[in-house]
Amino acid sequence: MKTYAKFTLLVVAIVGTLAWLAASGINESKTYYKTISELKQLPGGEATKRVRVTGDVVPGSIKRDGERVHFQIVEKGQPQILNVVYTGKDPLPDTFRDNAQAMADGKLQADGSFQASSIAAKCPSKYEAAPGGKPAAQPLNGAKPPSMS
Amino acid sequence: METLGAFAILLAFCLAIYAFSASLVGSIRKKAFLVVSGERAVYAVWVLMSTAAGILVYSLMTSDFRLAYVAARSNRAMPLVYKFAAWWGGQEGSLLLWSWLLSTFSVMVLWTNRRKFRDMMPYVIAVLSFTQIFFCTLNAFIEPPFQVLAVGKGVQAVADGNGLNPLLQHPAMAIHPPMLYLGYVGFIVPFAFAFASLVTKQPGEAWIATTRRWSLITWAFQSTGILLGAGWAYAVLGWGGYWGWDPVENASLLPWITATAFLHSVMMQEKKGMMKVWNMVLISATFFLCIFGTFLTRSGVVSSVHAFAQSSLGSWFLGFLSIAVGVTTFMIIKRLDYLKSEAHLESVLSRESSFLFNNLILLASSFAVLWGTLFPVLTEAVMGEKITVGAPFFNKVNIPIGLFLLLLTGVGPLIAWRRSSFDSLKRAFRWPTVFFLVTVLGLVATGVHHIYALISFGLCAFVTVTIVMEFFKGSRAISIKNQMNLLRAMVELTHRNTRRYGGYLVHMGIVIMFIGFTGAAFNKDTTKEVKIGEHIQLGNYDLQVKQVLDGDNPNYSWQRAVIAVTKHGESLGELTPERRVYVSSQQPTSQVSIRRRLNEDLYLNFASMSQTDPTAAIIQVYIFPLVSCIWVGFYVLLFGTLICLVPSKVKYSYARTEVVGVYAKQAQPTK
């Protein structure tokens, strides 16, 4: 029985440690899902929490500025537009382009813009191009840029 | 053709129902002819599913754009290999691949066991057929692959298809899904045997002996699938390196973790007759998690970069899972007596308890991953508010778990079965501990202060020493006794007990992979806007943009930056990251350019041309130290698994006392 008591003690210690790690991990990284309109209505005190907001990329709004990428997203059927500034280190996904559904994680800034540290994007057709061969959207930077060579 | 395909699926569905009913009724009523006809139905299902799969592949290869599936996922300009890969490029096709693999595995199981386990086989077939019925239902009624475009009713005939998603047009991607599926589908076989032995109260550990090899091969496929996915994510942009804790990545990891736990704990059942309930739960959980993983990928319940179409599949999967979990739980509870342990735990310091801790930790890890993945769903159900947790959560829990497992990898083999004395442990741990300390202190001296990195590298040294010691002691004994050189003795040693020493090689692979993971602590990156001739500096590298070229081919147009790389003034050649825009989908993709070396990768991405200055390119530069170790470690792991599959020259029990005993004897307390 003594063996089992020792064993139980060890198990409890391990599980306890992991539960504590998990709980603090959740607190550190928990991110609320908000729509653009919900985000705009957040009271001042709550605006500092981490938020994940989803919307469609407004065509032509993607602008690069050195390390930062500016773009706008809009919720289907809603008038509000959210200005997003991406400051993360990961390269943007290839599926991120005009009209794509983008998922931005970050925090709302005092000036009403959204600072995102990570961006995930879904193709408008969710990886399956629309039947009929109609091009879904223009590429990221519009027409082919002039050659430098 | 498509009518024949659809008909084949429908007929397979009916025959799967027959196989299920005939096996069950035949077994309960003791009617041999019913059992045999059920078995024949399984073969017929395979022929029919192969016909359906063959027709789909043929339609893809011949660009038959009358079919909606072909028109949506293939086009004329695509290379033949990607036309073939389009089989699993979409929902309907990949579900058909699942079904076809399942029918193939069923036939293989039936053929190899056609004269064995006469009691168990009807139930094995029943489990396999039940799952086949489920997938055939999806193929026949929910996501049929042979739908023809309704040309004339507001839809125009298409001259060319849309093409496979460009992200999927990558060699690793072409083989990643089938590998994962071989893993996902494969675990149904050990589960079916476990379940059948539960129903028929098989004496002994017959089901484990039969399915050990199968489990190991399946596990190897699953590992390969996960690693190929990681390699693809690394080479194709935007997925956060090789691992991003995305829900669908997690879904593939979950059954892998429980299967790893299972492969360890079955040893306890084989040798000691312990942990029988536990093993039953583990193999069932592994199978359920495979189905659950497919469900997560296919239903779009959690938002993921992988999420395929939102579909009505979810409720079907949940229905199937509830039935399977319900029936299995009921059977396990009903058979608790039969699953009673034959031995008891004698000491906390024993090989047995190291196995228990290994299992506990693996389970904790899979639970944490599952919890994190489903967190948005759970919080929405409980609090009405959707909350997600990101990579920091997964890292915070899984890094300590990973390190603890690494420690156990080293400790496990050094402790004796039943109980170990402190003295024997002191002897066994002396050298590994010395190497641990030397590594940690050496790294601190060279300026490494990242705490997890120090522990990880230290443990890698610790485990490596234990593994080398195991090989050395065993082979030295053989070399002295048989007068052969050490290298030959090592091969002989491994051949005598392939499972044990193959297992050590798998552990060595894991150690090398850990070195690769730990390298991430030292990643460097920068993003720069540069004109032709300008330089970028990062780490010891100097990069100069030479030119930007562009051109096109029928499949895509491309733009390529040519960048000269120098390190410490020495030229290392050129790297050429590229941007492509695929013609049919107008989807841009990045082709990163990587200089791969064992110590570090230089990774370049051509993000785009600058918008403010059209003569400047935006280049992202990353240095990933040690990342190649992940791939190298994987090859070692695969090699070790293959060794495990080679039959041992000497029977295991003999090997344990005669060969391994050389070392185990020292570690065991004197009585």
User: What is the gyration radius of the CA atoms in chain A, in angstroms?
Assistant: 22
Judged by a CB distance cut-off of 8 A, whether residue B165 touches chain A is: yes
pLDDT in tens, A8-35: 888 899 889 989 998 888 888 888 888 8
Q: Which residues lie across from B560 on neighbouring strands? A: B549, B578
- Is it the case that residue B305 has pLDDT exceeding 60? no
Judged by a CB distance cut-off of 8 A, whether residue B247 touches chain A is: no
pLDDT band at residue B658 using 50, 70 and 90 as cut-offs:
very low
**pLDDT confidence of residue B295:** 87
pLDDT in tens, B315-349: 899 999 999 999 999 999 998 888 888 877 777 77
pLDDT in tens, A94-147: 778 888 888 888 888 888 889 998 888 775 444 443 333 333 322 333 333 333
**pLDDT confidence of residue B51:** 96
- Is it the case that residue B524 has pLDDT exceeding 60? yes
> Which is more confidently placed, B655 or B19?
B19
pLDDT in tens, B262-301: 999 988 888 888 888 889 999 999 999 999 988 887 776 7
Distances (CA, A) of B302 to B251, B310, B386, B391, B619: 11, 10, 11, 15, 33
End-to-end alpha carbon distance in chain A: 80
User: What is the gyration radius of the CA atoms in chain B, in angstroms?
Assistant: 27
Contact B76, B162 (CB under 8 A): no
Mean pLDDT of B488-517: 93
pLDDT in tens, B497-509: 898 999 999 999 9
pLDDT band at residue B125 using 50, 70 and 90 as cut-offs:
very high
Measured over the CA atoms of residue B508, residue B509, residue B513 and residue B515, the dihedral's sign is positive
**pLDDT confidence of residue B240:** 52
DSSP-derived letter for residue B142 is I
Tokens of B35: 């059992």
**pLDDT confidence of residue A129:** 36
Judged by a CB distance cut-off of 8 A, whether residue B160 touches chain A is: yes
Across B220-343, the runs of DSSP E, i.e. the strands, are: none
- What angle do helix axes B188-200 and B91-112 make, rounded to 10 degrees? 50
Please, what is the Cα angle at B201 between B134 and B15, to 5 degrees?
25
- Is it the case that residue B195 has pLDDT exceeding 90? yes
**pLDDT confidence of residue B155:** 67
pLDDT band at residue A44 using 50, 70 and 90 as cut-offs:
low
Q: Which residues lie across from B557 on neighbouring strands? A: B552, B581
Contact B87, B100 (CB under 8 A): no
pLDDT in tens, B140-166: 999 899 988 877 766 667 777 777 777
Q: Which chain B residues have a beta carbon less than 8 Å from that of A65?
A: 612
Q: In Å, how far is A81's CA from the nearest CA of chain B?
A: 22
Please, what is the Cα angle at B531 between B527 and B534, to 5 degrees?
80
Q: Which residues lie across from B379 on neighbouring strands? A: none
Residue B632 parent element (H or E):
helix B628-645
**pLDDT confidence of residue B655:** 37
- Is it the case that residue B1 has pLDDT exceeding 90? no
pLDDT in tens, B43-99: 999 999 999 999 999 999 998 888 989 988 888 888 888 999 889 888 899 999 999
**pLDDT confidence of residue B626:** 94
Question: Which of A18, A52, A146 has its CB closest to that of B364?
Answer: A18
Please, what is the Cα angle at B68 between B63 and B70, to 5 degrees?
30
- Is it the case that residue B653 has pLDDT exceeding 50? no
Report CA B586 to chain centroid distance, whole Å: 32
- Mutating which of A32, A52, A62, A95 best tests the B interface, going by the most B Cβ atoms within 10 A? A95
Distances (CA, A) of B15 to B9, B54, B101, B496: 10, 19, 16, 46
Query: Are the Cβ atoms of B239 and A18 closer than 8 angstroms?
Result: no
**pLDDT confidence of residue B233:** 85
Question: Which of A6, A132, A147 has its CB closest to that of B548?
Answer: A147
Question: How far is Cα B437 from Cα B557, in angstroms, rounded to an integer?
Answer: 55
Q: Name the amino acid, one letter, at B110.
A: L
Question: How far is Cα B632 from Cα B628, in angstroms, rounded to an integer?
Answer: 6
Mean pLDDT of B18-42: 94
Residue whose pair of structure tokens reads 């997690």 in the numeric block: B250
**pLDDT confidence of residue B239:** 53
Query: Are the Cβ atoms of A123 and B605 closer than 8 angstroms?
Result: no
Query: Are the Cβ atoms of A138 and B588 closer than 8 angstroms?
Result: no
Mean pLDDT of B173-189: 90
ipTM associated with this complex: 0.77
pLDDT in tens, B58-72: 999 998 888 989 988
Mean pLDDT of B629-651: 91
**pLDDT confidence of residue B270:** 83
**pLDDT confidence of residue B663:** 38
pLDDT band at residue A50 using 50, 70 and 90 as cut-offs:
confident
DSSP-derived letter for residue B561 is E
pLDDT in tens, B198-222: 999 887 677 888 888 999 999 999 9
**pLDDT confidence of residue B558:** 92
Question: How far is Cα B105 from Cα B128, in angstroms, rounded to an integer?
Answer: 9
- Give me chain B's average pLDDT, please: 87
Mean pLDDT of B615-620: 88
